[in-house]
Amino acid sequence: MSEPTRDFNNLRADSAGKSEAEGELPNAAKRNGPERTTPEEFFRGVEVGHPDGIQCRVTRGGANGDLNDHIWNTRMGKDFAQWFAEQRNGSEPAYYSIAAFRCGAVSRYKGRTRGNAVAMRTLCLDIEGSSKKYAKPDGPENGYPDGAAAISAVKGFVKATDLKPNFMVDTGSGGFHLYFVLPEFISPSQWLSRAQALVALAKKTGLKIDAPCTTNAAQIMRAPGSIHQDTGKEVIAYRVRAEPYTLEEFDRLSYEPQLSLPPDAQSEKSVGNDIFGGTEYSKFSYAHAAENCPAMALAAANNGRGTSYPVWILAIRTAELSIQGRPYSCEISRGHPDYDEANIAKKLDSLTGGPAGCAAW
C-alpha cells in the first residue's frame, strides 16, 4: 500500500453508488484522495492500549434488538486489531468502544458507562449525511442531505482549522466519522476537555455534528468492515493523516483566542492567559484549565459539595465564560445542598468581568 496522500482537498464524494469494480472508492474518494485502509489497520490505530482497560465489540441483541451485546477483549495483551478481526462478522452491523473500561466492571450486557471508562486515545466527530435522517423535522439542523454535502462540509472544516483527521470512516449511509488520534492514551478528564473544545470548534466553523457523540466517553462507533443495517453497504475506513497528534499540536489547533478581556478586568491576568499564554483573554476549557490549577479542580469536585460561597462565585463565573458555558456552571453546583438552578441563573446574570485570575484563586 502506498503512502497516503496528505492533500485532503482532493477528497471527492461524487463516486457514491459506484462499485470498486468500476474503478471508484464508494462514497468517499478518488484514488488520489485519502487512501482506503483495512479494518485491522484502523483498529490498530485507535486501540487505547491501557494496561488495565479493555475495549469491546458491540452488536444488537435481545428481543428489542438494542445495541447491548458486548464482547470484551479480556485477553490482556492481545493485539486489539487482531482480536477484533477474529470477532468480526461482515454480514452484520457492529460497533466498537472508543474508550478502554475497567476489566472487572464490565460484562456482556452492562458496565459500558462513563464512570467505568479509564482511558481514551481518539477524539471523534460524527457528521450525518443520511437522506432518511435529513428528512426528519430537525434533520437540516443536525446534518446534511447526502454524502456529497457532508464531505463538502468536512473539507470546509479542515480548511478552516487545519485539523486533518487521521482516519475518516464512511458509515455506509452517507455520513462520515472523523478520528483524531493521540500518540498515547489520556485520562477521561483530559479527554473530555479536549472533546468539548472540538465541539466548540465545529460549532464556530459551522460544521454540523452529533455533539453528544464527541463528548460521551461511553460512546460506541460503527466498526469498519461491518455492514450498515439500513443500506447493506460496508463501513469503510480511510487514512488521511499518518502521524498522531501530540497534545500540544491538538490544543494549538483546537483552542483559539476568540474574545478580548473586558475593560474592568484588563488589569488582572485571566485564567486563559495564565494557562494558555498570550495577552488577550482566550476562550478556554474550565476542565482543561483545572488540570493545571488545583484550586479550580477542587471547586468543581463532587459537583460543588462543600464549596464555600466565595469560591463558588469564582467557579461558576469562570465556568460560564469557558467553552463549557452555563450548563457546566450548574453542573459544578448541583451537589450543593442549597442548589437551585433558577438562583444560579439569576446570580450569573448579575456577574460581570473576565474569569478570575490566579491571585483570586
Residue 271 exposed, middle or buried by CB count within 10 Å (0-12, 13-18, 19+): buried
The mean per-residue pLDDT over the stretch 230-240 comes to: 94
Asked whether residue 227 carries a pLDDT value surpassing 80, the answer given is yes
pLDDT at 358: 76
pLDDT at 88: 66
CB 124 within 8 A of CB 4: no
CB 42 within 8 A of CB 88: no
pLDDT at 12: 43
Asked whether residue 272 carries a pLDDT value surpassing 60, the answer given is no
pLDDT at 167: 98
List Cα–Cα distances, 276 to 50, 99, 102, 349, in angstroms: 28, 27, 32, 27
- Under the banding of pLDDT at 50, 70 and 90, the label for residue 353 is confident
pLDDT at 175: 95
- Which has more pLDDT, 279 or 53? 53
Q: What percent of the chain has pLDDT over 90?
A: 45
CB 115 within 8 A of CB 204: no
CA distance 276 to 260: 14
DSSP string, 91-125: TS--EEESEEEEGGG--SSS--SGGGEEEEEEEEE
Question: Where is average pLDDT lowest: 61-75, 239-253, 313-327?
Answer: 61-75
Q: Model's pTM, two decimal places?
A: 0.68
Mean pLDDT estimate for the chain: 80
User: Counting every residue, how long is the chain?
Assistant: 361
Tens digits of residue pLDDT in 11-37: 544 434 333 333 344 444 344 568 999
pLDDT at 28: 41
- Which has more pLDDT, 219 or 5? 219
Q: Could you tell me which residues are beta bridge partners of residue 122?
A: 181
pLDDT at 26: 42
Residue 63: all three cell numbers together: 428481543
Coil vs helix vs strand at 238: strand
pLDDT at 174: 94
* Amino acid letter, residue 107: S
List Cα–Cα distances, 116 to 20, 52, 61, 134, in angstroms: 41, 12, 22, 34
Tens digits of residue pLDDT in 118-153: 999 999 999 999 999 999 999 999 999 999 999 999
247 membership: H or E segment, kind and range: helix 247-254
pLDDT at 286: 86
- Under the banding of pLDDT at 50, 70 and 90, the label for residue 89 is low
Phi, psi of 169 (to 5 degrees): -115, 125
CB 300 within 8 A of CB 286: yes
pLDDT at 323: 83
